[in-house]
A and B are shown apart, each in its own frame.
Chain A
Amino acid sequence: MSEMAAEQITADGRRIGPVVMEMKNITLRFGGVVAIQDISFDIREGEIRAIIGPNGAGKSSMLNVISGFYVPSEGEVWYKGARRPAMKPYMVARQGIARTFQNIALFEGMSVLDNVMTGRLTRMNSSMWSQALWKGRAEAEEVANREIAEKVIDFLEIQHIRKTPVARLPYGLKKRVELARALAAEPTILLLDEPMAGMNVEEKEDMSRFILDVNDEFGTTIALIEHDMGVVMDLSDRVVVMDYGKKIGDGTPDEVRNNQAVIDAYLGVAHD
């Protein structure tokens, strides 16, 4: 895979750039349990990279390593060509890595707009005092941030619920609001933890469309975890397959689909 050219154009005309993030020999242990065992892979600029695998394969753990929620026991995370030291999740977020959660983590008491605006927090620079007094730069900044938030809201077609408290929304819309909040940060890499979990077919189609559009429109690099093989194969440019904490496959959807180890992991194999 490292043989790929520094830059390439996909069949549908999207630009895929150089490696932006590289996981080198990541191992993650919880006490005696090895959640991730010596896994390496990279994420390239502008691509949609999927991590798939059966339940308990360590996919979410891997996402948590990327977003800084877990610190790997061994191995290195390289980001934008430099080794990333162990850092707190909020620092990772400030470096341009936004994420969503499998079990939706939204600010339930706030409106949709406020939730999306929190995505802009890392982009606000003016001081507390000027903001409290609502003057000058702070005001201009608030307006600019608001504009981006509204653009994202428009893009994900949630204008009609802008002012609704999140707690009142149905599951599918919450997922979309969470995506909006992550997008509002204009992230370098967008991490999606099972964006389609618990959705019906129609909602899944919507979400797939949004993911593709985001990638297409903003050129956002996306790394996602998903159970639904069909969806993943349609969406992604490259796929990492995990099973029992190990990497058993890596490549384009077609390569992965024909990989015997992957087939065994998904369909089961007779152990004799």
Chain B
Amino acid sequence: MPDQVLFAMEVTLNGLMAGVLYSLVALGFVLIFKASGIFNYAQGVMALFAAATLVGIMDGQVPFSHLINAIFGTDLHHFGWHVPALLAIVLTVGVMIVLAWLVQKLVMRHLVNQEPIILFMATIGLAYFLEGLSDLMWGSSIKTLDVGLPQGINDTIDRVTFDAFGYGFFIDNLDIVAAIIAALLVIALMAFNQYTKEGRALRAVADDHQAALSVGISLNFIWVLVWSLAGFVALVAGMMWGAKSGVQFSLSLIALKALPVLMLGGFTSIPGAIVGGLIIGVGEKLFEFLIGPMVGGATENWFAYVLALLFLVFRPQGLFGEKIIERV
């Protein structure tokens, strides 16, 4: 097989893996949007916050240590223990649930029945607040996240492809794990949505608040649940991205990469978020590989947005979104 084709195959595979990570972030958006019609700008920062919290708990960091030290003149930094990864993840889930509850209690509850744009603005505020809170709690230095996920080249794939084509593909183990986790997460979310009464209630709330109240659904509870789910998805995304490129501020910017994914997949579709992520992932890697050299490279920075723009023009509801029908 010619080298070009082999390279393209490898690039495609890597694109798929990167796409999974985009999908993970997009999933968080879809969850909240479906259930409450809010476009949660803070989703990326939630991923950052979750990852920073996870690292902080694992390393036994004292939360707000700078603040405490500044006020009381102490010199606290570490508790001096290390929490095992699994326990730390459980604790972080707990923190995200508390956060969800606070968001609902302090912000969203007071904005019921407001225009979507107002809710959107509130989530922008939330994003900046969370960013600051994350820095204040855990410090703003770049941290490495090691929850024991395998990293580096997958030897099996390398060997098999080398035997078959005479060229070993480079696939990162972390990407494979991320893909598996994303798949499990999606299956779990779909099962939750379809088969539990909370899932049914969630769909009901998304559809009509008044009717939901009349059949005995607590809007408050459902919204806390949704924000918790989004927090959980943010944690998973934060873990994957954090393990890949370190826990740092730029993590919150992956939220922007999720936007084109959503425009492709539609804001209301969980499978759409997955497929959209894969298309963007593969698309931008292949485009960079094939067209990049002709235009001087760095196409990955803009390809996703241009693709999203094309979708906005020709299919504004995305691939899987509910068709927008305007009755006159």
> Taking beta carbons and an 8 Å cutoff, which residues of A are in contact with B?
67, 69, 88-91, 93-94, 98-99, 101, 105-110, 114, 117-119, 121-122, 124, 128, 131-132, 134, 181-182, 185
Quick check: A121 and B200 within 8 Å, CB to CB?
yes
Quick check: A118 and B196 within 8 Å, CB to CB?
no
Query: Number of contacts between A and B (CB, 8 Å)?
Result: 88
Tell me whether B211 is interfacial, beta carbon within 8 Å.
yes
Residues of B within 8 A of A114 (CB): 200, 203
> What is the CA–CA distance of A47 and B196 in the complex, to the nearest angstrom?
36
Quick check: B191 and A121 within 8 Å, CB to CB?
no
> What is the CA–CA distance of A110 and B201 in the complex, to the nearest angstrom?
12
Known: A90-B216, A117-B200, A121-B216. A105 touches B191 (CB 8 A): no
Tell me whether B217 is interfacial, beta carbon within 8 Å.
yes
Tell me whether B96 is interfacial, beta carbon within 8 Å.
no
Tell me whether B207 is interfacial, beta carbon within 8 Å.
yes
Per-position binary interface string of chain B over residues 195-219, scored 1 when its CB falls under 8 Å from any chain A CB and 0 otherwise: 1111011011011101111111111
Residues of B within 8 A of A134 (CB): 195
Size range of the interface on B? 20 to 34
Extra contacts, 8 of them, besides A90-B216, A118-B211 (Cβ < 8 A), are: A88-B213, A93-B215, A105-B208, A107-B203, A107-B207, A109-B206, A128-B197, A132-B188
Among A105, A122, A182: residue with most chain B CB under 10 A: A105
Cβ of B258 to closest chain A Cβ, rounded Å: 24
Tell me whether B322 is interfacial, beta carbon within 8 Å.
yes
Per-position binary interface string of chain B over residues 208-247, scored 1 when its CB falls under 8 Å from any chain A CB and 0 otherwise: 1011111111110000000000000000000000000000
Residues of A within 8 A of B195 (CB): 131-132, 134
Known: A128-B196, A131-B197, A132-B192. A118 touches B215 (CB 8 A): yes
> What is the CA–CA distance of A65 and B217 in the complex, to the nearest angstrom?
18
Quick check: A105 and B210 within 8 Å, CB to CB?
yes
Among A93, A134, A182: residue with most chain B CB under 10 A: A93
Closest to B221 in A: A90
Cβ of B41 to closest chain A Cβ, rounded Å: 25
> What is the CA–CA distance of A98 and B198 in the complex, to the nearest angstrom?
19
Known: A88-B218, A105-B208, A107-B208. A124 touches B213 (CB 8 A): no
Known: A89-B213, A114-B200, A132-B192. A108 touches B218 (CB 8 A): no
Quick check: A98 and B214 within 8 Å, CB to CB?
yes
Which A-B residue pairs are the 7 nearest by beta carbons? A93-B216, A105-B211, A122-B216, A107-B207, A131-B196, A89-B213, A94-B216
Quick check: A101 and B217 within 8 Å, CB to CB?
no
Known: A131-B196, A132-B191. A89 touches B214 (CB 8 A): yes
> Taking beta carbons and an 8 Å cutoff, which residues of B are in contact with A?
188, 191-192, 195-198, 200-201, 203-204, 206-208, 210-219, 322
Quick check: B213 and A90 within 8 Å, CB to CB?
yes
> What is the CA–CA distance of A118 and B215 in the complex, to the nearest angstrom?
7
Residues of A within 8 A of B217 (CB): 90, 118, 121
Known: A90-B219, A107-B203, A121-B200. A69 touches B192 (CB 8 A): no
Residues of B within 8 A of A91 (CB): 216, 218
> What is the CA–CA distance of A121 and B210 in the complex, to the nearest angstrom?
15
Residues of B within 8 A of A99 (CB): 214
Known: A117-B200, A128-B196, A131-B195. A108 touches B207 (CB 8 A): yes
Quick check: B215 and A181 within 8 Å, CB to CB?
yes
> What is the CA–CA distance of A135 and B198 in the complex, to the nearest angstrom?
16
Residues of A within 8 A of B208 (CB): 105-108
Cβ of B256 to closest chain A Cβ, rounded Å: 29
9 example contacts (A-B, Cβ-Cβ < 8 A) are as follows A69-B210, A106-B211, A107-B207, A107-B211, A108-B207, A109-B207, A110-B207, A128-B196, A134-B195
> What is the CA–CA distance of A110 and B203 in the complex, to the nearest angstrom?
8
> What is the CA–CA distance of A93 and B219 in the complex, to the nearest angstrom?
13
Known: A90-B219, A128-B196, A134-B195. A121 touches B214 (CB 8 A): no
Cβ of A41 to closest chain B Cβ, rounded Å: 22
> What is the CA–CA distance of A119 and B212 in the complex, to the nearest angstrom?
9
> What is the CA–CA distance of A98 and B214 in the complex, to the nearest angstrom?
7
Closest to B189 in A: A132
> What is the CA–CA distance of A233 and B201 in the complex, to the nearest angstrom?
38
> What is the CA–CA distance of A91 and B217 in the complex, to the nearest angstrom?
8
Closest to B206 in A: A109
Cβ of A220 to closest chain B Cβ, rounded Å: 16
Closest to A117 in B: B200
> What is the CA–CA distance of A124 and B210 in the complex, to the nearest angstrom?
20
Cβ of A217 to closest chain B Cβ, rounded Å: 21
> What is the CA–CA distance of A108 and B208 in the complex, to the nearest angstrom?
8
Residues of B within 8 A of A108 (CB): 207-208
Known: A89-B214, A185-B215. A109 touches B191 (CB 8 A): no
Residues of A within 8 A of B200 (CB): 114, 117-118, 121
Quick check: B215 and A101 within 8 Å, CB to CB?
no
Closest to A101 in B: B210
Quick check: A109 and B216 within 8 Å, CB to CB?
no
> What is the CA–CA distance of A94 and B204 in the complex, to the nearest angstrom?
16
- Which of A67, A101, A118, A185 meets B201, CB within 8 Å? A118
Known: A106-B208, A107-B207. A119 touches B215 (CB 8 A): yes
- Which of A69, A109, A185 meets B213, CB within 8 Å? A69
Cβ of A56 to closest chain B Cβ, rounded Å: 21
Residues of B within 8 A of A105 (CB): 208, 210-211, 214
Among B191, B192, B198, B207: residue with most chain A CB under 10 A: B207
> What is the CA–CA distance of A94 and B216 in the complex, to the nearest angstrom?
5
